[in-house]
Each structure stands twice: as structure tokens, then as C-alpha cells.
Amino acid sequence: MPVDSFKYLPRLIAAFYQMTERQLELPIPWTPLPRPLSGCKFGLITSGGLYHRTVEPPFDVARERQEPTWGDPTYRTLPTDVRQAEVGASHLHINTRGVLADINILLPIHRFQELAAEGRIGGLAKQAYSFMGYQGFPPDTTAWRGTYGPQVAEKLKAEGADCVLLTPA
């Protein structure tokens, strides 16, 4: 059975999404896997609004409250040995209770450590990254495309990552 994208959405938001026009941009970029996964180092990126408590600030939800058509385009860095108690979440569009109980539902650091230990993957980058998925209305992804996405890509490549798991929230 195909996944129903609208199953858990309130009717109003679902109707609005279905009315939104988006142009398919071709070609879709493609980087073939460079080697078997058992030799690949992975980076993890979510858009769940996570941040490393006491080390970095939350996303700028104060500005979003003042200016609801704007969403913070910056990103935060979380070490992949972060303790659960140090995980913060600032995202006004989802309930963050679940991820504050278990980071693995968005940034699966423990699951990937297990997969590395069993040899399914080559390894896990030391730093994971989080964005905050709401990019304004209408969405403006200019900063993601032009600035912050490329920055995270360069940081992951500098760590020797080949592959990335992305988990929108």
C-alpha cells in the first residue's frame, strides 16, 4: 500500500498543501554510492529543530512568533555522543515530546552506532546536524540552498562522510 501523505494532517493543512503548486526541477542531482555501505561513513541530518542544550542556542522562535511568515534557516550541530538530557528542541509546528524522550526517532545516533558495530555501515560522523523545518510562508529555501546546506555538506565531507540520512520531522 502506498503511504498516504495526508493521513495525520488536519484537513485544512492537507487541503492547502494539495492546492500548492511546486515545479519539479530537473535534473534531480545524483551521486552514486562510492562503495558498499560496509565501507561508507554516514552523516545524520534532521529538520526537527534539535539543538545541543547549553552549548548552542535554540532556533529563533521568538522572531517567528513576531513574524509568522518567517522561519529560522540556520542549523545546529549535535555531537553523535550527545546525552539525551542535553538534547533540546525548538520547533513551533510539531510536538517535541517524543524526540525529547528519545533522540533516535529523528537523529538515530544509537541505531547507527549499532549498525557500525555489526559492520552493516562503515561508521558514523562525529557531528550530526539539525535544521528547523518551517522555512516561512510561502517557504523560502534560498538560504538552505545557497548557504547552510552547502556548509553542512562541506563539514560532513571534511569528516570523510560519503552518505547522509535525512529525516524531516
Partner 1 sequence: MPVLARTLEAAGLSTILVTMMPFWAEKIGVPRTLAVEFPFGHTLGQPHDAAQQTRVIRQALAVLETAEAPGTIVHSPETWPVPRREASKDWQPEEPSPIIQMMAPRFRELVRQRRQRKA
Interface of this chain with partner 1, residues 15 to 44, rule: CB under 8 A: 15-17, 19, 22, 24-34, 37, 40, 43
The b-or-e profile of 138-162 (16+ CB within 10 A means b, else e) is: eeeeeebeeebbeebeebbeeeebb
Name residues whose C-beta falls within 8 Å of residue 94's C-beta, 6 or more positions apart in sequence.
48, 49, 169
Least distance CB 56 / partner 1 (angstroms): 19
Examine residue 85 and tell whether it contacts partner 1 (CB under 8 A): no
Site string for partner 1, 123-142 (x = CB under 8 A): --------x-xx--x---x-
Least distance CB 16 / partner 1 (angstroms): 5
Examine residue 121 and tell whether it contacts partner 1 (CB under 8 A): yes
For residue 11, what are the β-bridge partners? Answer: none
Q: Which residue has the cell 558514523?
A: 124
Examine residue 112 and tell whether it contacts partner 1 (CB under 8 A): yes
DSSP tag of 25: P
Least distance CB 31 / partner 1 (angstroms): 5
